[in-house]
Amino acid sequence: MKDVGSIFAESSIKMNWFEQPLDHFDKEETRTWQMKYFERHDYWRKDGPIYVFINGEGPASSIFLKTGMLYDLAKETGGAMYLSEHRYYGDSKPFANFTSENLKYLSSRQALADVANLLKYVLTIPAFKHSKVVVVGGSYAGNLAAWMKLLYPNLIDAAIASSAPVVAKADFYEYLETVSEDFEQHGTDGCWDNIAAKFKKYEKLFKTSEGIKQLKEEENICSDTDFRKDENRQLFFLDNASRYMVHAQYGSPDTIKKLCQDQKSTFAGNIDEPNVLWNEKKQCISYDFDEMIEEIRDIDWLVSWLYQTCTEFGYYQTTNSNNHPFTRNVPIELYYRPIELYYRYCSKLFGPEFDEERVEIGVIQSNKMYGGLNPNVTHVVFVNGDMDPWSKLGVLEDVSYEAPATIIPMASHCRDLFSDRKNDPEELKEARRYIRYLIKDWIGSGDYKTSG
């Protein structure tokens, strides 16, 4: 923990560590661990607010203390900035080994208590005695921002919940329905039909051994991939649908048009983590479920996130709908047989007790604890882009006058959390201005002119 006496003498971002209880709710558990967090104070002025960017399911980066919604607000209102890393992600690991026994301390409730504990410490600093507290988060961390206001209303004064899927749901078929709507609305003429034809062709080729052989040759699939296994077939359909999913979630009308113009484009080159389906030795794609599970075990953040989906949220993007072009080949249950792709992720990674019942219990408990689409909160703004597939699980109508929802036309996932760029649509810029206005109004803080 840093020396608070020198906190305001610094003009750059600092990384520090904070000791957290392993379990905030079991007093008999005395073990602790070190949580990483960042702070920046060069724009702070006397009695200025405290802004906390809550990181979600991945390593924390200090970029949001250099640019973006939180940075802009801190600069405008003379605020101090903090960014917290989520337990079990990045460097904030209570354990080196992610066994099921060690992972049992990973939950949104524990993570919220971590942020609250850090804030309680920050608020002991005399200079912050009269400071308001604003939390900001996007995607799953957008949930956390809203839920901080729910569970710790005396600690948090306002929150921005960006692209927050606050409803837990196992069979999230609406995701691909939204992808379909995006390509139908923003794609080139005939694009949706071409996607549908491609997936129907895949489905037809899978019906014969000669068709499977042809498919492997055309799609550069490893020859030893066993497509007699339903889960391997499901992986193929999910992987190919993902090429369109990522453009709906993170793209724009222009990127969707571009993909339509080049149906051979993939998203594999746009992700930081290795593609767990790619076989480097054979230079081909290996759709082998068991091999993929072993690859996943080496990617800590992905193991952590899958554990949370298996125990709290579900969020499984299935094809259980007729309102999309991707065919119905990634259901939770296939042909009423006990081959369930997403549930199998859970049981393979964490043990047989992590089954369908465990997922459903977690979903029910999460919605009961946090309130789903009707959380009992005030001074929270819920923001969604209308292109974002995750918006189907988000708050799209005002919870109340003091918990409004705003939908940004032609915007994707978490776009409001970035600073304005020259080519951003005016609707997006206006939404950002509105969000900043709400926060400043709620915390009673006007613009603070800085020389920075």
Those residues with Cβ within 8 angstroms of residue 265's Cβ, 6 or more apart along the chain or in another chain: 243, 258, 259
- Taking alpha carbons only, the member of 389, 337, 81, 378 closest to residue 230 is 337
Q: What is the pLDDT of residues 408-422, one digit of tens each?
A: 999 999 999 999 999
Q: What is the pLDDT of residues 26-58, one digit of tens each?
A: 999 999 999 999 999 999 999 999 999 999 999
Answer yes or no: do 177 and 156 share one domain: no
Residue 405 pLDDT: 98
Answer yes or no: do 129 and 156 share one domain: yes
How many domains does one find in the chain?
2
For residue 159, give the CATH number of its domain: 3.40.50.1820
Domain assignment present for residue 31? The answer is yes
- The pTM assigned to this predicted structure is 0.92
Answer yes or no: do 237 and 307 share one domain: yes
Contacts 24+ apart (CB under 8 A), 337-340: 337/230, 339/230, 339/231
Q: What percent of the chain has pLDDT over 90?
A: 85
Answer yes or no: do 10 and 149 share one domain: yes
Among 342, 364, 386, the domain boundary falls at 364
Domain assignment present for residue 46? The answer is yes
Where does residue 230 rank: exposed (0-12), middle (13-18), buried (19+ CB within 10 A)?
middle
Domain assignment present for residue 429? The answer is yes
Among 340, 364, 388, the domain boundary falls at 364
Distance CA 316, CA 251 (A): 21
Answer yes or no: do 158 and 230 share one domain: no
Residue 9 pLDDT: 43
Domain span at residue 105? 4-166+373-443
**Identity of residue 216:** K
| Of 68-72, 276-280, 414-418, 427-431, minimum mean pLDDT range | 276-280
Answer yes or no: do 154 and 176 share one domain: no
Distance CA 170, CA 159 (A): 27
Distance CA 328, CA 185 (A): 22
Among 364, 396, 422, the domain boundary falls at 364
Q: Is the pLDDT of residue 449 over 80?
A: no
CB count in 10 Å sphere of residue 77: 25
| Of 194-198, 204-208, 280-284, 431-435, minimum mean pLDDT range | 280-284
Answer yes or no: do 20 and 84 share one domain: yes
Q: What is the pLDDT of residues 243-299, one digit of tens each?
A: 899 999 999 999 999 999 986 444 333 334 446 676 766 789 999 999 999 999 999
- Taking alpha carbons only, the member of 139, 164, 161, 159 closest to residue 149 is 159
When pLDDT is cut at 50, 70 and 90, the band that residue 341 belongs to is: confident
Answer yes or no: do 56 and 191 share one domain: no
Q: Where are the extended beta strands (E) located within 228-343?
A: 278-279, 284-285, 314-316
Residue 331 pLDDT: 65
State the average pLDDT over residues 358-379: 97
Domain assignment present for residue 451? The answer is no
Answer yes or no: do 395 and 406 share one domain: yes
